[in-house]
A and B are shown apart, each in its own frame.
Chain A
Amino acid sequence: MKTAKLTDSEYLVKAGKIIRARQMTKIEKLFEISLPGGESLDHEPGQFVMVSIPGVGEAPLSISSSPTKRGSFEIVIRNVGKVTNALHKFDTGDTVGIRGPFGKGFPVQILEGNDLLFVAGGLGIVPLRSLINFVIDNRRDFGKVTILLGCKTPQDMLFGDEVDSWSKRLDVNFDITVDRCEDPDYKGNIGLITKLIPGVTLDPERTFAAVIGPPVMYKFVLIELLKKEIPERQILVSLERHMKCGIGKCGHCQIQNYYCCKDGPVFTYEQIKDKKEAL
């Protein structure tokens, strides 16, 4: 058996330096990461990176920052597995392995000039934030912008300050709901995110909806969006799957004939509506 060095392997990682770490909730931690030599990640909103710790392993993680933010990028880690638990022990100054960006993100060129409806449930805010901030940073290139957010309790809302600033913008329609709240002074909406959709006024022909949330959320949100008569090809979802390679080989993320990592993770509803096992 011989071995040779490869300089063009898809599995080669870059050393990503954590330049800022922030514990967001008990289970979610944000890292801002820069690549060697200040190289830009050059991602599309909706893409993901493979983040790794030598000796522990790799995990696919959504990029949360907008590509308009240059020089570094952000990821949010919920500690639910081996790699993410180990990542939670990392802090500013530590180095992680980075591969990517991978996958097909949101088609921002196609979205230009159209009205946008963002629907994010729970951790879905993390990847959707990349697109929301991209749109806000290029605000005049887009039509009407509506942001609908949902989470379990007010304390679970990620990016609270940023969400607050979105809610105050005159050029953004904004609404938020929580599943439950024990605080008697809470004046906001209580209930599922699906309840927010009927109240939105939109022109379905020129509206694109971008939806990200836990698997169970999609079915119900999609029903509401279809009731609004938004065309199927203008409803964009991002699907979560188990991934090992990121390049359409390892098979874990397969949704019928699609590889979620390569053909997605962003799909139109039209692409996946007949794919059983997709939602």
Chain B
Amino acid sequence: MQYQVLKKINFNDFIASLAKIEKVVAPVARGYNTFSFQEVKNGQDVAVKYIPTILPPKKYFFPQREKLIEFNKNAGTFEALLEYEKMVIFGVHTCDLAGVQCLNMVFSDKPKDINYLVRKNKIIIIGLECNEYCDQYASCKVVDNHLPNGGYDLFFTELNDSFIVHVNTIYGDELIDKTRLFNPAEQIHLDQLEAVRQKKREIFKEEVKVTHNDLAKLFDKSFDSKVWDDLDARCVGCGNCTNVCPTCYCFDVLDNMNLDFNTGDRSRMWDSCQNEPFAKVAGGENFRKTRGARQRHRYFRKFKYPVERYSRYFCTGCGRCTRTCMAKISLKETINALVDSKEEQK
């Protein structure tokens, strides 16, 4: 374990010198209490204190739209291609680090998704610790993402007048060397880091009426719960919740013909299980007809199915789905309602 320290007065220089080495993206303020990952050139552009961005860093790993194939119809040729960009993402919170870890599992599951796997290795990730809750919608403790669990090259934690930086990979170490602004951490910094973590253990409590381990068990028995009827009545089926989710990876594959009516491409685009035709087959049968069934599917894809397949929750606790929902469907309230309705059944 290697720790370095960056003085806060050197933060602007750090981002500026990083931007000279590589494209740097970081959270940027976009109006009242709204942030998004954007390219930055110096430290003043970066919102070091921010609540989860509109879209998670997923957009760099798994872009909204991506070409998979280019074809020439008359020549009868098809070429598979990969679009990528080298970059450094600065300021990734632990919830979003977990989100990337989930995507890594999905896309490296066989058959592997080469487009994703090559692209992810072109991206350097610099994490940033949340010393306290971002807002009331987060539920990172119950899914165990409030503390760093790897998935970064460097990890920044804010101390009094400096950042203590955990160097996790040689790629992170290279950036430390190249920017020449860091000093090895001393005992006092490590003590301060431990104090931050200790305080976090006091602040962060399981945000719902169920423990980390019991959350999966709750969903084992919740398929027929009346809670889904309530969501059915409220959900407007807009798909915002899945678009902003750091672990939603469903996509559509579409052909685009160029104006020459000969060349074109086959691309994938983000899709949403909340859209009505998502599970509809050609014969007309729809296997998730109602908005309630589709909401239930979304929750089960976070708390049950991935636990069976990948042994982890695919909810990172970031709270984006709750913040963005037009019908005010809250993840925490839904889980609590499931707990309550189970109590009533007893």
Contacts and interface: CB of A to CB of B under 8 A. Distances in A.
B255 A56 contact: yes
B81 A5 contact: yes
A125 B2 CA distance: 64
A188 interface: no
A244 B266 contact: no
A223 interface: no
Interface in A257-279: 257, 276-277
Given A52-B266, A55-B73, A241-B279, 4 more contacts: A3-B84, A5-B81, A9-B115, A214-B283
Contacts of B309: 257
Given A10-B111, A58-B253, A250-B271, A215 B285 contact: yes
A11 B69 contact: yes
Given A249-B106, A250-B252, A252-B279, A54 B111 contact: no
A99 B35 CA distance: 41
Interface string B277-295: 1111111010110000100
B73 to A, nearest CB: 5
A28 to B, nearest CB: 13
Nearest to A15: B76
Contacts of B76: 15, 95
A255 B71 CA distance: 33
A97 interface: yes
B194 to A, nearest CB: 40
Contact of B273 (A56, A215, A251): A251
A246 to B, nearest CB: 9
A5 B80 contact: yes
A250 B80 contact: no
B199 to A, nearest CB: 38
17 contacts: A1-B83, A2-B84, A3-B67, A11-B69, A11-B266, A54-B266, A58-B253, A59-B282, A244-B268, A248-B111, A250-B250, A251-B250, A251-B251, A251-B273, A257-B308, A276-B223, A277-B297
Given A12-B69, A256-B300, A57 B254 contact: yes
B223 A4 contact: no
A247 to B, nearest CB: 4
A250 B76 CA distance: 26
B191 interface: no
B79 interface: yes
B305 interface: yes
Contact of A244 (B83, B253, B297): B253
B207 to A, nearest CB: 26
Interface range for A? 35 or more
A3 B111 contact: no
A240 to B, nearest CB: 5
A126 interface: no
Interface string A188-226: 000000000000000000000000001100000000000
A3 B297 CA distance: 35
A52 B254 CA distance: 11
B73 A8 contact: no
B82 to A, nearest CB: 5
Contacts of A249: 106-107, 113, 249, 251
B78 interface: yes
A56 B118 CA distance: 28
A123 B263 CA distance: 35
A214 B283 CA distance: 9
A4 B114 contact: no
Contacts of A53: 255
B305 to A, nearest CB: 4
B98 to A, nearest CB: 19
A180 interface: no
A56 B78 CA distance: 14
A6 B283 contact: no
Contacts of A84: 282
Interface string A229-249: 000000000001110110111
Contact of A242 (B107, B109, B111, B278): B278
